[in-house]
Copies of this chain bind each other. A is one copy, B any other.
Amino acid sequence: MSKNRSIDFWYEFASPYSYLSAMRIEAEAARHQIVVNWKPFLLGPIFRQLGYQDSPFNAQPAKLQYMWRDMKRCCDAQGLAFKRPDPFPGNAVKAARIAILGADQNWGASFTKGVFEAYFGRGDDMACEDVLRTILTAVAADNIDDIWGLAFSDGNKARLRLQTEHASTLNIFGAPTFLRDQELFWGNDRLENALAFSPP
């Protein structure tokens, strides 16, 4: 029986450490001959289930301050642009609706990386339709209006809700989270462990 050669990458566009993973997961997974399944979801509904009204980072000023410092160090080490976004967390709903539509199309990964680079690399507002259309234009060639219509259809909105509920049933509590052979790995620092994992 062949080993499962895929990894589910659960990410949220307002999650800083998801940016780090999104920009390196393809190259890392390729080295292990593992296929990446892009799984955008929303952390907001999961945090609200836990009783949080905001990102847990914002409840702890010292941790928030540290996280931005750590992000700057990590982006420097990875050769990525970084600009502290304001507001944080940004509203990721529109970007996630487009990304889930693209997850099984050839422009999905590029769109996801484009949104992360815009939000965490340049501090652009990812809730702004112009920002999203510009990214989409760069990665999806000529059918932007079709994509836009499908992304904001009731069916696709429901798809994102279901995917977020699925994350919750998998006991996902943060992002990025990697799932391999039913084993959860939380955090950008665990990507290598997830890729190297063999079920017992």
Residues of A near any B CB (own CB < 8 A): 50-51, 59-60, 62-63, 65-66, 69-70, 73, 171-174, 184-187, 189-190, 193
Contact B193 A66 (CB under 8 A): no
Given A69-B184, A184-B69, A62 contacting B189 (CB threshold 8 A): no
Contact B65 A193 (CB under 8 A): no
Taking the closest CB of chain B, its distance from the CB of A104, in whole angstroms, is 27
| Oligomer: number of copies | 2
Given A189-B189, A193-B73, A60 contacting B66 (CB threshold 8 A): no
Given A65-B171, A189-B189, A60 contacting B70 (CB threshold 8 A): no
Residues of B within 8 A of A187 (CB): 189
Residues of B within 8 A of A62 (CB): 171-173
* A66 vs B167: C-alpha distance when bound (angstroms): 14
Taking the closest CB of chain B, its distance from the CB of A44, in whole angstroms, is 15
Taking the closest CB of chain B, its distance from the CB of A68, in whole angstroms, is 12
